[in-house]
Amino acid sequence: AGAGLFASIRDLFVEKRERKELPAPVKIDFIEDLLDDGTCICGASLAEGTSGHEHIAEWKQRAGLAEVEERWISLHSYAGHMEKSRAELGDQLNELLTGRLAAVQARDFIREQLSEVSTQLQSHSIDEIGKLEDARVKVGNHLNDELRRQGRLETELARLGEAKRRASVRLDKAQSVEAKAALAQRRVAATREALDILEKIFDVRTQLTRAALDQEIKRVHNSISYKPDIPSVNERFELQLRRGGNDEPAAKSSGENQILSLSFVGALASRARSRFEEKSSGGAESERGGIYPIVMDSLFGPLEENYQSEVAIALPQLTEQIVLLVSKSQGQAKAVYEHIAPRIGRSYVISYVTPKPDAKVQMITLGDETYPLIVPSPDGSEYAKLTEVS
């Protein structure tokens, strides 16, 4: 009956809304205000006795009261809430009835067991019951002991599990260290093997370079010296000069030492140039080589005239560029100048400005020009000045 009442209330509320009675189209307070003012919202007169006044008064009968509308809305909301509460109450009652039935069944089962135990007890004497109770107590104590033992075993099992986990972590770290050590050993072995190979390659290249340099020194020295002495480069790259035909060291004058040094420097420059030319033409990349100049100071000073001519002839063949620092006597020597003059690119005169006030002026004539070699300083300072020969 309650459910039908709530449904009727909701249906009536919906019906009134469909007929637009809720909410009311016009409020009664609004009608009374219009009648009190005597003027419609359109401006027409609503004085008593007019048709407009009568018409508006009729709307007063149909106007809705705010309190009535509020009660209807509250009643509709309450009906919906009560329907939901009624359904929930029914579900709760079903659950309680189900639980009550289960409790009754459990009670009946316990009563049956109690009756059975009572029957069994009636068949035993008091002593037997006491013995059974003692046995029950012992079994209970034993059960408690076993439970405590189980707890200790579980604690020990947890401790052993944690120890196993830490041991596993240490094992993983040890295996990682072992793997890294094995990798390091392989790298060391590979590095040593590569080092051995590089050392062998270095030894081979060293011997090849020493042999090539030895041959080039012999060639340059033979083109300059008229003596049968033979230069050589030993295993430690020491430059030696021996008497031809035997291993006895040859006695060397200062001029011969100069020729031997020139042979060594010229051989190095010639070797570097040949390697550079081989690389430029698509040869081996093991030696880069290059075009390097030779710079020598007072080359011709300790040389005899015949050696001066040979050295002047051999110099342009050693490298692309040679820088020679010569004294006045060396530069103007006929044996030197007539051979190197056609190959001179640029020449300069180094003038020494001396602070000595009584120093004599010295000049040098090159071609049609005269250049100072030694001049007194006008302010007592000492320096050298470089002048290009035109």
Q: What is the pLDDT of residues 157-203, one digit of tens each?
A: 888 888 888 888 888 888 888 888 888 888 999 999 999 999 999 88
User: What percent of the chain stands above pLDDT 90?
Assistant: 3
The verdict on pTM exceeding 0.95 is no
The more confidently predicted of residues 195 and 27 is 195
The more confidently predicted of residues 279 and 6 is 279
For 228, residues 6+ apart whose C-beta sits below 8 A from its C-beta are 243, 244, 245
- Lowest mean per-residue pLDDT among 65-69, 130-134, 181-185, 318-322: 65-69
User: What percent of the chain stands above pLDDT 70?
Assistant: 73
pLDDT of residue 190: 92
Backbone angles phi, psi at 290, to 5 degrees: 165, 170
pLDDT of residue 197: 93
Average per-residue pLDDT in the chain?
A: 77
Q: Where are the beta strands (DSSP E) in the chain?
A: 230-233, 239-242, 294-297, 322-325, 348-354, 362-366, 369-376, 383-388
- Tell me what percent of the chain is helix, strand and coil, each rounded to the nearest 5: 65, 10, 25
pLDDT band at 325 (very low <50, low <70, confident <90, very high): confident
- Lowest mean per-residue pLDDT among 189-193, 341-345, 375-379, 382-386: 341-345
Q: Where are the beta strands (DSSP E) in 48-168?
A: none
Could you tell me whether strands 362-366 and 369-376 are parallel, antiparallel, or unpaired per DSSP bridges? antiparallel
pLDDT band at 22 (very low <50, low <70, confident <90, very high): very low
Task: Please give the angle made by the CA atoms of 29, 31 and 36, to the nearest 5 degrees.
Answer: 95
pLDDT of residue 91: 81
Rounded Cα distance, 29 and 66, in Å: 9
Say if residue 302's pLDDT is above 90: no
Say if residue 63's pLDDT is above 60: no
Name which of 4, 2, 10 is nearest 80 in CA terms: 10
pLDDT of residue 74: 67
The more confidently predicted of residues 247 and 268 is 268
Say if residue 154's pLDDT is above 80: yes
Say if residue 81's pLDDT is above 60: yes
* Per-residue pLDDT reduced to its tens digit, 360-369: 888 888 778 8
The more confidently predicted of residues 268 and 190 is 190
pLDDT of residue 67: 52
| Mean pLDDT within 120-145 | 77
DSSP 281: T
Say if residue 372's pLDDT is above 80: yes
* Per-residue pLDDT reduced to its tens digit, 250-263: 777 777 777 778 78
The H or E element containing residue 136 is: helix 126-224
pLDDT of residue 194: 92
* Per-residue pLDDT reduced to its tens digit, 82-107: 667 777 777 888 888 888 888 889 88
